[in-house]
Amino acid sequence: MSISGFQLLSLTVIASALLVYALVRRNGRQLPPGPRGLPIIGNIFQLPSKDGWITYKAWGDQLDSDIIHLNLAGTPMIVLNSRKATHELLERRSAIYSDRPRFRMLNDLMGFGWEFSFIPYGKAWKDRRKLFTQELQPPKSMLYRPRTLQAARTLLERLLEKPDDYMWHLRHMSGDIILSTAYGIKIQVEDDPYVQLSEAALKCEVVAAEWGYYLVDVFPALRHLPSWLPGMTFKRQAKEWKRLSVAMLEVPFEYAKKSVMNGTANPSIASSILDADGSSQGHEKELILRDVLATIYNAGADTTVSALGTFFLAMLQNPEIQAKGQASVDVATAGDRLPDFNDVGSMPYVDAILKEVLRWKPVTPMAIPHRLMEDDTYEGYYIPAGSVVVGNAWAIMYDKEAYGPNTHLFLPDRFMQGNELNPAIPHPDVAFGFGRRACPGQDIAWSSMWITIASILATLKIEKARDENGCIIEPSGEYTSGMQTYPKPFKCSITPRSQKSAALINDCTS
């Protein structure tokens, strides 16, 4: 080689930074305010290692701006800290804000390029989004409610039998809904390989999906350096993790195809689209179906588990709110039956609890980054084409003007007006993303979380656990940090509200 890898990287970084600087200077426009950075590399070493949403909001407050700019070695990063800014840019101007930055680690090296949430804006994305929306939004999503209801009731039985394993039961329920809906797979009662595969893949994906966590996202030239060099651990990690992404994509899809060919397929999205010979009217259509099913498999599991984990934590920390939620369910059911989807609209406090779960601890505090496709301006600031634009969902959910002064507290009543939901309080829908990149599966996600919360409130009591000496074990209340967050493990006591409640659970699953 006439030029070393390190020299290539250095030249790339310097050239990129100088190019952006020259373009901004030539424009004579002002970028949004941001923290002072270093020459050439900018703010790259100021990126927070954890809980970045809090840091970005603090920077915005210090600069008195709801939009801030960081320079990542020549790549402009724009963080939007308000509902006003995200609505104007990511919603109203979605035609130019719906691209994605290149996820070099996640897509190129780890093999998650099939996950259409992360692929660039264009025909491939539109084709996959269209099929996803067609299958998982009303009216078609209503067809999946019976199996969602059954999964929620099976969860009650499992919580009654082995309450200490509540987080695993949540994962099992989520996997049951997703795998049966997408592929027609009926998962095993214990140690299901599909659920285990999903859990393993998600653990590595949530790290790599945080754009910029791996420097190769910012410095693509790093891909060309040998893996034995210091600092190239990510290449060895990616090689190992790629096996998981390939398995998630191929294994359940092959099962569904064979089931259709053998005439043994259960009703599912796969069986409704695949022909009797296991094909999908052309190779390209089959690839689209395969990618969409894998995205459903991948995207839905941890979101639901994280939110319901927050529900468990909130209930044991706030027994008075739990009691109020139980009373709301009892009014609708008279305590004589389990809730079902006919009760939607008749339990407003359950809706308020779910809204507060999504607001209080958003599963994805920082939305997956968007990429601006052409130059733009906002509030007098210049935003260059190619900017990485990120909506800070956490900052929006903790806006005191929208949600009141005590945003750090779990208070479902903030969404209530008397005995009804208050339409003036913003729905925490930013938990599902922004604009054309918002999660198209949010209807089925909301339905599964709603019926699960209503069913648990109807029958079970969640309390703080006690140790062998009878002393209360206080949960830490701590959360993991990353693209998706979830509560760190905590112990709790789960018991039936009454003998009648236990009988209702046993009767519905017998």
* Residues with Cβ within 8 Å of residue 263, at least 6 apart in sequence: 276
14 to 59, 390, 398, 479: CA distances (angstroms): 26, 24, 38, 38
Q: Say whether 480 sits in a helix, a strand or coil.
A: coil
> How much helix, strand and coil, in percent to the nearest 5, is found in the chain?
55, 10, 35
- How far apart CA 356 and CA 428 sit, in angstroms, is 8
- 3-state secondary structure string across 413-426: HHHEECCEECCCCC
**Axis crossing angle, helix 442-459 with helix 283-317, rounded to the nearest 10:** 30
DSSP lists the bridge partners of residue 462 as: 494
146 CB-side CA count, 13 A: 4
Q: Which residue has the tokens 């804006």?
A: 121
- How far apart CA 352 and CA 53 sit, in angstroms, is 24
- How far apart CA 34 and CA 32 sit, in angstroms, is 7
- How far apart CA 370 and CA 121 sit, in angstroms, is 10
With residue 80 as reference, give the H or E element that holds it.
strand 75-80
Would you say 204 is a known binding-site residue?
no
Closest of 152, 106, 125 to residue 373, by C-alpha: 125
As annotated, the binding site for heme includes 439
